[in-house]
Chain A
Amino acid sequence: MNETWRSWLSGTPWLLMIGCFFILPLAGLLLMSFSGEGGFPSLDNYRVVLGEGSDRPAVLLRTIGTALSVVLLSIAIAVPAAYYLAKCVLSARVQAAVLALVAVTFLVGPLVRTVAWRGILGRSGLVNTVLQGLGVIDEPIMALLYGRPAVIVAMTYNAFPFMLFTVFLAMKMIDDRYLAAGRDLGAGPATVFWRIVLPLAAPGIWTGAILVFVPTISTVLEPEILGGTSGRLAATEIRDQFFHALNWPMGSTLTIVLIVAGGVAILALALVTAALARLSGRIGIAMRAGSTGAGSAR
């Protein structure tokens, strides 16, 4: 089979699909964002959103900041756990069981998952009840719920499995012989992790970061259910414009702005990830070695 022909064949179904059902509406969104009070085309909406005195840039920054903290938290949880499962646990059964337990959380709808945090963090929630029962605190800690911390805890909960699965897969594919070689050359476990495992797992972390970041900037559930008065995030605002104010042009403008800001943040994330990977090991060499090595290891 001809190589070019095969290339196109693999891409066509999806490109055709999104061409018809996605790019077109998106183009419509883009056009609509330019229809303001003064007719079409106009920059009215963008002026309102980004102009002086607008609180939207602050909302946008808050949204991206929140999503980035969720990404970092997910990395902090998933990378050590994935490393432990993929490289420190001998039994495949244990690995499968742990991953399955985490995957089970996905089966519960996002709504139930999110509301459950009220029962955990609330005034008479699990945490406060247990702490009071143990005599650690006298008065319930009210700051646990209805604020940014609760939102981040729930968002991370809803998103970190993406990170865990991709990083686990990436680490699983690292040839154990690299680790052994590193140790034989006198590297301690920490060095092996930072200089060998992490750089080789970087593509997995990167994929995970996107999978965590993107749904997080466009979710409306957690801030509304757990956020109290801590302020709206961008997606909620977009929803309100589309479905409650029925102001589609303004909703479109906010969406375009969020897409652009999200894109910029992803780009920044990519640069930071690359820099970190470079810091922790010689990524270029290791990657090349990894990409041929992992394949032949099978």
Chain B
Amino acid sequence: MKRNTHLISAPGPWAQSRRDFLKTAALAGVAGIAAGHLGARPAFAKASKIVWGTNADYAQPDMLSPFQKASGIEVATEYFSDPSELVTKLRAGGAGVHVMTDGSYHSDITYGEGVLKPIDTAKMPNWDKMIPAFKTAGGLAFDGKPHGIPYAWGTDSVVYNFDALKTEIDDLGALFDPKYKGQIAMPNGLFESLVATALYLGIEKPFAMSEKELDEVTKVLIKQKPLVRSYWNDIGDLKNLMATGEVTICWGWKMLLDIKQHGIDVRWAHPKQGELAWYDAAFMTKEAEGETEEATMAFMDYLIGDTYGAVLGKSIGYLTTSTSAIAAMDKDLVKTLGLDDYDSFLAKAAWWTSPTQPDLYQKAWDKVLNA
């Protein structure tokens, strides 16, 4: 699943005035009842059931049933396609969600909204078996306390249809080449097009661009627009674009390689300008309390265990963070997924973070879309 649409920006200076206006509205209108219930949260007590806010792909029945059978804990799901939807809900209160999926690109913003609580990794047997690089990855610990359990990861790069292009691609410039007019797809979400373009232009910090650098990126993207067939919104969208021949080259995600099994020779480019790495993690929300908190922890441990790790790769082609899951996995699957040499990859990966000035990024991408 991971990041689907636009990145969330940090709450602006209006956050306070929003609260003020809500109070005004409540006082003005909803009679007396409103005030008494401000911020009221319904209580959750039963530990036999927890709710996971995630994307449907992470929660297919066969992926969860081993845990439910072993623990007797029912895992209900609250589907979303973009964590920001759930954050909006959690912030308003009473979402009834105990654990949520969030990504390296924006977990700090979720934390900033005050909806997460820390976890005790000592209570998770599978934590020690995690690829060490992930334990210390950014966006997981806040105020020195671990909050997130990374359980899936991958990279983004240029993907192309070799049958159609008849040439190897090792340069991000291909995405801006008039030769491929009408055959290019670029991502709509998460400012990923801005970041990919920044990589192409050799901008040093793609997630901390200055206004001038963003201007430069915007210009290149507007110039690229006539070459682009579509801005894709999600990976399924992109798979269809590539598989049906609508486009032949794109900036895409690893899951796109799935379409190989349908006889389409899509290839993953390792552009000289670099690739981007991301992970999805499970975070406990403040609504997990008492027995539910324990059940939630047990479930989060399951997500980084052998069973889930294997089924994650098999069902949706994402990579597990668990070394023991990789060891226990079918060798062919490990190779297909590219998990056999994760160390060398991790050593040079550039990790997603949230942009330092999301407002400017949003404005820049707005400009491209509206042009």
Contacts and interface: CB of A to CB of B under 8 A. Distances in A.
Interface string B81-114: 0101101100000000000000000000000000
Given A224-B233, A244-B5, A244-B7, A28 B22 contact: yes
Given A122-B246, A231-B369, A245 B21 contact: no
B14 A249 contact: yes
Interface string B224-268: 011011110100010010001110000000000000000000000
B8 A58 contact: no
Given A28-B22, A228-B231, A249-B17, A244 B370 contact: no
Nearest to B7: A244
B6 interface: yes
Contacts of A249: 12, 14, 17-18
Nearest to A59: B370
Contact of B9 (A36, A40, A142, A247): A247
Contacts of B20: 40
B29 interface: yes
Contacts of A39: 17
A129 to B, nearest CB: 11
Given A40-B21, A231-B369, A246 B84 contact: yes
Contacts of A40: 17, 20-21
A199 to B, nearest CB: 41
B367 interface: yes
B24 A31 contact: yes
Contact of B21 (A32, A118, A145, A232): A32
Interface string A229-251: 10110000100101111111100
A224 B234 CA distance: 11
Contact of A35 (B11, B18, B370): B18
Nearest to B5: A244
Interface residues of B, number: 46
Interface string A122-148: 111000000000000000001001100
A40 B13 CA distance: 11
Contacts of B370: 55-56, 58-59, 231-232
Contacts of B171: none
Contacts of B231: 228-229
Interface in A144-201: 145-146
A24 interface: yes
A55 B246 contact: no
A31 B366 CA distance: 25
A90 interface: no
Nearest to A243: B84
A240 B7 CA distance: 9
B22 A122 contact: no
Contacts of B65: none
B358 interface: yes
A248 B245 contact: no
B88 A246 contact: yes
B11 A31 contact: no
Contacts of B230: 146, 228-229
A20 interface: yes
A245 B245 contact: no
Given A229-B230, A244-B6, A245-B6, A24 B88 contact: no
Contact of B30 (A20, A36, A37, A243): A20
A24 B30 contact: yes
B25 A244 contact: no
Contacts of A225: 233, 237
A248 to B, nearest CB: 6
A100 interface: no
B9 A245 contact: yes
Contacts of A243: 82, 84-85, 88
A229 B228 contact: yes
Nearest to A27: B25
Contacts of A247: 9, 12, 14, 359, 362
Contacts of B17: 32, 35, 39-40, 249
Most chain A CB inside 10 Å of its own CB: which residue of B82, B231, B358, B370: B370
A248 B14 contact: yes
A146 B25 contact: no
B227 to A, nearest CB: 9
Contact of B229 (A28, A224, A228, A242): A228
B271 interface: no
Contacts of A246: 8-9, 11, 84, 87-88
Interface string A81-94: 00000000000000
B225 A229 contact: yes
B138 interface: no
Interface in A12-30: 20, 24-25, 27-28
B14 A35 contact: yes
B182 interface: yes
Interface string A35-60: 11101100000000000000110110
A31 B188 CA distance: 31
A39 to B, nearest CB: 7
Contacts of B240: 118
10 contacts: A24-B29, A28-B25, A35-B18, A142-B229, A225-B233, A229-B230, A232-B370, A244-B6, A244-B362, A249-B18
Interface of B: 5-9, 11-14, 17-18, 20-22, 24-25, 28-30, 82, 84-85, 87-88, 182, 188, 225-226, 228-231, 233, 237, 240, 244-246, 358-359, 362, 366-367, 369-371
Given A123-B244, A145-B246, 12 more contacts: A24-B29, A35-B17, A58-B370, A124-B244, A146-B230, A146-B246, A224-B188, A237-B366, A243-B85, A244-B5, A245-B359, A248-B14
Counting from the closest, the 3 A-B pairs by CB-CB distance are A244-B6, A35-B17, A55-B370
